[in-house]
């Protein structure tokens, strides 16, 4: 009986030590992203079939709302010429193909429209980061539009989280 108690105590100690072990350090964010002062917002377009239903407005709605979100963020100077920018933010609204009403019991799901932001270093022409936000499903036009606005806001917040505050 004593040896069983000793084994249990050892297992608890090992599991406890594992639970308190240090988490691996976060991978570094590219310095070009955190030190950038100016950005050019590039409109990579929207897939067809998204406007005027399920989303109201026109295909440039994502670009216009994201641009306004970036102005409100105040983190970057927005420039109108990519050659003047430290970063190029390429925004695209996609509507992936996939099964319509797939068997959810087997792990299937309907594809959701997604906003994809690819962050390019203007000088090196390398991708520094990419962010994606799905636009949640809805039944009503008003809710579709709210979910669209929420996804844009989340994308701006994601960029702020990665790039940090103004250098």
This prediction's pTM: 0.78
The model's confidence at residue 45, banded by pLDDT at 50, 70 and 90, is: confident
Residue 54 preceded by cis peptide, ω within 30 = yes
Domains and CATH numbers, the chain: 30-96+110-163 (3.30.160)
Q: What is the pLDDT of residues 2-43, one digit of tens each?
A: 656 655 555 555 555 454 555 667 888 999 999 999 999 999
- Smallest Cα–Cα separation from 150: which of 113, 101, 96, 99? 113
Q: pLDDT tens, 108-120? A: 566 788 999 999 9
pLDDT band at 165 (very low <50, low <70, confident <90, very high): confident
What single-letter DSSP state applies at residue 64?
Answer: H
């Amino acid at each position: 009986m004593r040896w069983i108690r000793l084994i249990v105590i050892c297992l608890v100690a090992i599991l406890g030590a594992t639970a308190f072990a240090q988490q691996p350090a976060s991978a570094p964010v590219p310095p070009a992203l955190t030190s950038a002062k100016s950005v050019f917002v590039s409109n990579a377009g929207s897939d067809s079939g998204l406007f005027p239903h399920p989303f109201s407005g026109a295909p440039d709605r994502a670009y216009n709302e994201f641009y306004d979100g970036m102005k409100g963020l105040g983190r970057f100077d927005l420039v109108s010429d990519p050659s003047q920018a430290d970063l190029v933010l390429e925004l695209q609204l996609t509507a992936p193909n996939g099964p319509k009403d797939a068997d959810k019991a087997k792990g299937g799901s309907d594809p959701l429209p997604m906003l994809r932001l690819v962050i390019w270093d203007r000088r090196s022409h390398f991708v520094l980061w990419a962010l994606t936000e799905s636009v949640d499903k809805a039944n009503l036009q008003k809710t579709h539009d709210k979910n669209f606005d929420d996804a844009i806001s989340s994308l701006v917040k994601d960029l702020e989280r990665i790039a940090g505050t103004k250098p």
